[in-house]
């Protein structure tokens, strides 16, 4: 590591970036991003001794952005020149830069305080200007990786320029048409262990993921699959790339050995011939997916919201039943019509709250003594409740509604 590389790395470390160990001559980290983020958190700082050790061992080094630091990854002479022209035009702006093996640059800057970091995209790949793609990427937030100076690739090395304090400006001054904010629709991610999420992604790609076919929305299918693997299963792009492009051995239901052909290898042209995506096309889609709201995650969020609302309505319905009058004689209601009365009272959809779930809440209420006139009976085929029927339940609903109106008027 030369002195300029070291100075630059020290500058990056001042922003508390997360350094990652990368396999030689690749951009694949040796462990997941989550692993290096956890390691960084346990160390409490960006450790240059780790970087030095990894480089001496022949590995590459990457880093995840932190501290409001961002970067423009210019892939060719056209966009490199746009950065230089921008610096000339804005007299007091000079971006620290790393020269890439392909002749491009990574130029660093800082976001101004009025940028909403909670909505900011992580990565924008080759954005459009005037309906044409421009060969530069924007690394804007914490879930994106750049290669560090000192890393050696077969095509050359990443070489640091002079480290300067990165200027603060809105990146849209440089790229006016850039869309920097992500889709803000709420969604859920799979929160199980990393091993379970990897297994889930493998199963999805092998058995459920649609195949991208030319003429049948091929690019939209790639986007959908990438968003599901990266967004729902919460995998970093390079790990997702491995699963999408790797053929694995397995066995069928009778124990015979079979090969699970990689998802990418099964993509087709309009004539049914193999037409896999290039590595760059896949990575662009996977990095874009970091900022997408995955369709399945949106669906799961909506279901979770509906379930939470249904539970609240069930609690309210149980409260209604505390107004049941003391029964005269034996009165009963089966679980099915009781569930129908709950749905009518609450406005909840039948698939959002099953009768068995209502039954469990009733059992808790009875065990707590909140429904003193009600007990559950079972036959071999059904479950019913003694101490209430449709008439008394509707009476209780009426009393509850009157009480609620009285409270509202009093307040």
Which of these, 35, 48, 163, lies nearest to 108 by C-alpha position?
163
d(CA 96, CA 162): 6
Task: State the number of CA atoms in the 13 A half-sphere of 223 facing the CB.
Answer: 9
Order of strands, edge to edge, in the sheet holding 145-147? 18-22, 60-64, 145-147
Judged by DSSP in three states, 362 sits in helix
pLDDT tens track for 170-224 = 999 999 989 999 888 999 999 999 999 999 999 999 999 999 999 999 999 999 9
Residue at token pair 């790949």: 125
User: Band of the pLDDT at 130, cuts 50, 70, 90?
Assistant: confident
| pLDDT of 254 above 90 | no
pLDDT tens track for 257-311 = 677 899 999 999 999 999 999 999 999 999 999 999 999 999 999 999 999 999 9
pLDDT of residue 186: 92
pLDDT of residue 120: 94
d(CA 241, CA 239): 5
Q: How far is residue 86 from each of residues 102, 107, 141, 200, measured CA to CA in Å? A: 21, 12, 22, 46
Structure tokens at 371: 């429904």
| pLDDT of 351 above 90 | no
Contact between residue 244 and residue 205 where contact means Cβ atoms under 8 Å apart: yes
pLDDT of residue 251: 66
User: Band of the pLDDT at 411, cuts 50, 70, 90?
Assistant: low
User: Band of the pLDDT at 407, cuts 50, 70, 90?
Assistant: confident
Share of the chain above pLDDT 70, in %: 97
Residue at token pair 């919201």: 305
User: Band of the pLDDT at 378, cuts 50, 70, 90?
Assistant: confident
pLDDT of residue 253: 66
d(CA 218, CA 241): 17
pLDDT tens track for 8-28 = 999 999 999 999 999 999 999
Which of these, 197, 282, 183, 206, lies nearest to 235 by C-alpha position?
197
Structure tokens at 100: 């890439």
Structure tokens at 51: 């970087």
d(CA 81, CA 74): 9
What is the mean predicted confidence (pLDDT) over 138-148?
96
d(CA 190, CA 188): 7
Comparing 246 with 409, the larger pLDDT belongs to: 246
Contact between residue 293 and residue 224 where contact means Cβ atoms under 8 Å apart: no
Contact between residue 270 and residue 213 where contact means Cβ atoms under 8 Å apart: yes
Mean pLDDT, the chain, rounded, equals 93
pLDDT of residue 184: 87
pLDDT of residue 208: 93
d(CA 354, CA 342): 11
User: Lowest mean pLDDT: which of 87-96, 234-243, 384-393?
Assistant: 87-96
User: Band of the pLDDT at 250, cuts 50, 70, 90?
Assistant: low
pLDDT of residue 264: 96
User: Residue 308 is inside which H or E element, if any?
Assistant: helix 295-321
Which of these, 71, 76, 135, 136, lies nearest to 103 by C-alpha position?
76
Q: Are strands 18-22 and 60-64 parallel, antiparallel or unpaired?
A: antiparallel
Contact between residue 226 and residue 240 where contact means Cβ atoms under 8 Å apart: yes
Judged by DSSP in three states, 293 sits in coil
In this prediction the pTM is: 0.73
Radius of gyration of the chain (CA): 29
């Amino acid at each position: 590591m030369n002195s300029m590389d070291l100075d630059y790395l020290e500058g990056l470390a001042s922003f508390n970036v997360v350094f990652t160990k990368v396999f030689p001559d690749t951009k694949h980290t040796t462990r997941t991003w989550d692993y290096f983020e956890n390691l960084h958190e346990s160390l409490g700082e960006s450790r240059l001794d780790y970087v030095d050790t990894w480089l001496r061992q022949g590995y590459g080094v990457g880093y995840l952005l932190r501290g409001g630091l961002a970067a423009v990854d210019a892939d060719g002479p056209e966009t490199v020149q746009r950065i230089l022209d921008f610096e000339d035009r804005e007299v007091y702006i000079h971006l620290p830069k790393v020269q890439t093996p392909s002749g491009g640059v990574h130029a660093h800057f800082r976001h101004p305080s009025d940028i909403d970091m909670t909505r900011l995209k992580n990565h924008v790949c080759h954005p459009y200007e005037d309906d044409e793609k421009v060969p530069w990427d924007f690394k804007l937030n914490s879930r994106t990786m750049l290669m560090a100076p000192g890393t050696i690739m077969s095509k050359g090395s990443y070489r640091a320029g002079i480290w300067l304090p990165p200027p603060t400006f809105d990146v849209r001054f440089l790229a006016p048409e850039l869309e920097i904010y992500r889709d803000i629709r709420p969604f859920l991610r799979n929160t199980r262990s990393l091993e379970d999420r990897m297994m889930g992604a493998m199963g999805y790609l092998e058995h459920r993921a649609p195949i991208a076919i030319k003429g049948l929305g091929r690019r939209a299918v790639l986007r959908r699959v990438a968003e599901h693997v990266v967004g729902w299963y919460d995998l970093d792009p390079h790990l997702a790339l491995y699963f999408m492009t790797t053929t694995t051995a397995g066995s069928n239901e009778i124990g015979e050995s079979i090969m699970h052909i990689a998802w990418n290898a099964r993509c087709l042209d309009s004539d049914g011939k193999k037409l896999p995506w290039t590595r760059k096309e896949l990575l662009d889609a996977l990095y874009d997916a970091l900022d997408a709201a995955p369709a399945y995650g949106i669906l799961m969020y909506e279901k979770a919201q509906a379930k939470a609302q249904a539970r609240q309505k069930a609690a309210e319905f149980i409260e209604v039943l505390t107004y049941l009058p003391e029964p005269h004689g034996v009165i009963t209601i089966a679980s099915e019509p009781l569930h129908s009365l709950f749905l009518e009272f609450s406005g909840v959809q039948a698939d959002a709250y099953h009768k068995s779930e209502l039954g469990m809440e009733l059992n808790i209420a009875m065990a707590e003594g909140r429904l003193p006139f009600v007990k559950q009976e079972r036959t071999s085929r059904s479950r019913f409740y003694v101490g209430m029927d449709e008439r008394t339940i509707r009476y209780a609903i009426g009393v509850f509604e009157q009480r609620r109106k009285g409270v509202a008027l009093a307040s």
